[in-house]
């Protein structure tokens, strides 16, 4: 039997045979092949779901192409057997390239997930893109794509000396998507190389990585549009409108974008720094192109626009060195032995492992801060190198230690009180003369 049938004639032959009982037999062969593939995947599921980090990527890829691969192998065998009894196998001939295309598309789309950061939202886009590409390939091999192409070419409009059709726009979108994916792949490679250069400052590496990604994306669009026949001069009007939009409506967005690069380059705020800005205190966890993510010590995250870090005063608690001073005021009564209270407070500080004792300039000290109304205010000042671990827990531990020592030593922590002197009324009364 002659099997060299062009793909564009397969669908025509299949329609011609639609009234033949042979078509029902071919449908039965496809159903059996699908059932065999389903059984193979059920048997292989325990092995494919095994938590093995060494072959996790291979197992995940096999889960995506396992069913079409098993069905293809079963179909090839079934088609050889069907050739013995059936006069034609047009449907089976059509199913073979479709299964091959499905395998290839799934593998390519699965490989592209390593270009982007792994996210749950990418699964839906991965599946949608796979089915769209496979559908386009299926239309091509069945001969329907030329008809769709002619219909899309008929839907066109004229802009000056340039003619734009629906097919040209779809083609341009596809080429741009491919160019953007290639640009992101190159940017990911450059970023991984930059992050491996530990001798370079982290902020500078991030700035170069983000700049390279922007350059690659711009080059991708500039290369993709002429590739499909779109003259870049047509975009001059759009570029002027975009410039006006940036000047008015998008001014803040552009300012935040530029401010992000300035922050990364001048290294005034770095990832891991503890800062206070706009009455918000926390650790810088991310510096993105538009905003900076500030994580407070209670776990909440604040999105701070990059422009705010440029235009407002920022208190960077760990810019030059990570050491941070923690002050703990304590009030004692006027009858207290201050030298004893000082010694007990220093003992409480020495019990804490986070307190710095190896730096002569940052040793714990007790200051006599104020003679207040109700007592004498002493202040214990300690330095720590890990402010990201929090200060409230350290304050609590030291205060508890001071309280126990003061209680054992009989040192009174006063509370607000007033002294009232009572004067006898008789002393202020003048005896009346008769």
Give the residue with greater pLDDT, 153 vs 358.
358
d(CA 223, CA 217): 10
Burial class of 282 by CB neighbour count within 10 A (0 to 12, 13 to 18, 19+): buried
* 3 state SS for 52-88: CCCCHHHHHHHHHHHHHHHHHHHHHHHHHHHHHHCCC
What is the per-residue pLDDT for 126?
62
Residues 230-244, mean pLDDT to the nearest whole number:
63
Alpha-carbon distance of 91 to 170, in angstroms, equals: 30
- Collapsing DSSP to helix, strand or coil, 287 comes out as strand
Is 90 exceeded by the pLDDT of residue 400? yes
pLDDT score at 251:
72
The pLDDT value recorded for residue 240 is 65
Give the model's pLDDT for residue 425: 66
Q: How confident is the model at residue 427 (pLDDT cuts 50, 70, 90)?
A: low
- Compute the mean pLDDT over every residue in the chain, rounded to the nearest whole number: 76
What is the spatial distance between Cα 353 and Cα 274, in angstroms, rounded to a whole number?
A: 21
Average pLDDT over residues 403-412: 90
Confidence of residue 1 (pLDDT cuts 50, 70, 90): very low
Q: Per-residue pLDDT tens for 293-341?
A: 888 867 788 888 888 888 888 888 777 666 778 889 999 988 889 999 9
Residue with tokens 């720094």: 273
Task: Determine the Cα–Cα distance for residues 154 and 347; give it in Å rounded to an integer.
Answer: 88
> Which residue is listed with tokens 């407002």?
312
E-strand stretches of 141-297: 156-159, 162-165, 274-277, 280-287, 291-295
Model confidence at 138, pLDDT cuts 50, 70, 90, reads low
């Amino acid at each position: 039997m002659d099997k060299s049938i062009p793909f564009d004639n397969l669908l025509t032959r299949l329609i011609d045979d639609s009234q033949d009982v042979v078509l029902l037999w071919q449908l039965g062969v496809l159903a059996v092949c699908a059932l065999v593939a389903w059984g193979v995947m059920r048997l292989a599921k325990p092995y494919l779901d095994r938590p093995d980090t060494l072959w996790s990527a291979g197992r995940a890829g096999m889960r995506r192409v396992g069913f079409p691969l098993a069905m293809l192998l079963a179909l090839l065998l079934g088609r050889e057997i069907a050739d013995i009894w059936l006069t034609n196998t047009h449907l089976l001939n059509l199913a073979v390239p479709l299964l091959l295309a499905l395998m290839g598309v799934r593998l390519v789309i699965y490989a592209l997930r390593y270009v982007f950061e792994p996210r749950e939202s990418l699964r839906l886009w991965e599946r949608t893109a796979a089915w769209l590409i496979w559908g386009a390939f299926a239309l091509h091999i069945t001969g329907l794509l030329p008809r769709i192409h002619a219909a899309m070419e008929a839907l066109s409009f004229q802009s000056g000396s340039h003619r734009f059709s629906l097919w040209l726009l779809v083609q341009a979108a596809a080429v741009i998507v491919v160019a953007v994916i290639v640009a992101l792949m190159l940017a990911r490679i450059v970023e991984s190389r930059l992050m491996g250069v530990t001798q370079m400052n982290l902020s500078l590496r991030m700035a170069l990585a983000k700049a390279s990604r922007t350059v690659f994306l711009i080059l991708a669009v500039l290369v993709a549009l002429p590739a499909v026949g779109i003259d870049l001069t047509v975009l001059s009007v759009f570029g002027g409108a975009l410039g006006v939009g940036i000047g008015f409506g998008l001014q803040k967005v552009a300012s935040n974008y530029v401010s992000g690069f300035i922050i990364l380059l001048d290294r005034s705020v770095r990832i891991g720094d503890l800062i206070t800005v706009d009455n918000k205190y926390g650790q810088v966890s991310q510096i993105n192109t538009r905003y900076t993510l500030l994580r407070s010590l209670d776990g909440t995250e604040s999105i701070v626009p990059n422009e705010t870090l440029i235009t407002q005063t920022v208190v960077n608690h760990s810019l030059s060195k990570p050491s941070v001073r923690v002050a703990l005021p304590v009030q004692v009564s006027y009858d207290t032995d201050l030298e004893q209270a000082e010694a007990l407070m220093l003992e409480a500080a020495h019990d804490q492992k986070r307190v710095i004792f190896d730096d002569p300039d940052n040793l714990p000290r007790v200051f006599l801060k104020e003679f207040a109304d109700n007592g004498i205010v002493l202040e214990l000042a300690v330095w720590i190198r890990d402010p990201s671990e929090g200060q409230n827990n350290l304050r609590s531990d030291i205060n508890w230690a001071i309280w126990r020592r003061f209680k054992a030593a009989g040192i009174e922590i006063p509370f607000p009180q007033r002294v009232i002197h009572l004067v006898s009324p008789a002393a202020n009364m003048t005896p009346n003369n008769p």
